[in-house]
A and B are shown apart, each in its own frame.
Chain A
Amino acid sequence: MSRQSGRSSDPRKVSQELFTLTYGSLVSQLVKDYESDEEVNKQLDKMGYNIGIRLVEDFLARSGERRCNDFRETADIIAKSGFKMFLGITPTVSNWSAAGDEFSLVLDNNPLTDFVELPEERSQLNYSNILCGVIRGALETVQMDVNVRFVQDILKGDNQTEIKVKFIKRLEDAVPAGEE
Chain B
Amino acid sequence: MTVFNLYIFDRNGVCLFYQEWNRHKHSGLSQEEEFKLMYGMIFSIKSFVSRMAPVDFKDGFTSFCTSAYKLHFHETASGLKFVMNTSLNVISIKDELQYIYSALFVEHVVRNPLSKLGQPIDSHIFKTKLDSYIRGLPFFIRST
Hey, which chain A residues are within 8 Å of B103, CB to CB?
61
B102 at the binding interface (Cβ < 8 Å): yes
Indicate with 1 or 0, residue by residue over A45-86, a CB within 8 angstroms of chain B CB atoms.
000000001101110111011110000000000000000000
Q: How far is the CB of B104 from chain A (nearest CB, A)?
A: 10
Cα A9 to Cα B106 with chains together (Å): 32
Contact of B117 among A53, A64, A175 (CB under 8 A): A53
In the complex, what residue of chain B is closest to A177 when comparing beta carbons? B36
Contact call A67/B77, Cβ cutoff below 8 A: yes
Interface size class on chain A is 20 to 34
Interface pair B43/A60, CB less than 8 Å apart: no
**Docked-complex contact B78 and A57, CB < 8 angstroms:** yes
B143 at the interface (CB under 8 A from A): no
Report if A154 contacts B (CB, 8 A): no
B58 touches A173 (CB 8 A): no
- Complex Cα spacing A65 to B58, Å: 13
* Given known A-B contacts A53-B117, A58-B111, A142-B77, A173 and B106 have beta carbons under 8 A apart: no
B78 touches A173 (CB 8 A): no
How many chain B residues touch A (CB < 8 A): the figure is 23
Interface residues of chain A: helix, strand, loop or mixed (majority)? loop
Which of these, B11, B77, B78, B98, contacts A174 with CB under 8 Å?
B11
A173-B43, A173-B79, A175-B43 given; A61·B101 CB < 8 A:
yes
The answer to whether B102 and A62 have CB atoms under 8 Å apart is: yes
Contact of A174 with B110 in the complex, beta carbons under 8 Å: no
**What 8 pairs between A and B have smallest CB-CB spacing?**
A61-B102, A176-B40, A174-B12, A57-B110, A61-B106, A67-B77, A141-B78, A54-B110
- Interface CB pairs A-B, < 8 A, 17: A53-B117, A54-B117, A56-B78, A57-B106, A60-B78, A61-B105, A62-B102, A64-B98, A66-B58, A67-B77, A143-B11, A173-B43, A173-B79, A175-B43, A176-B39, A176-B43, A178-B40
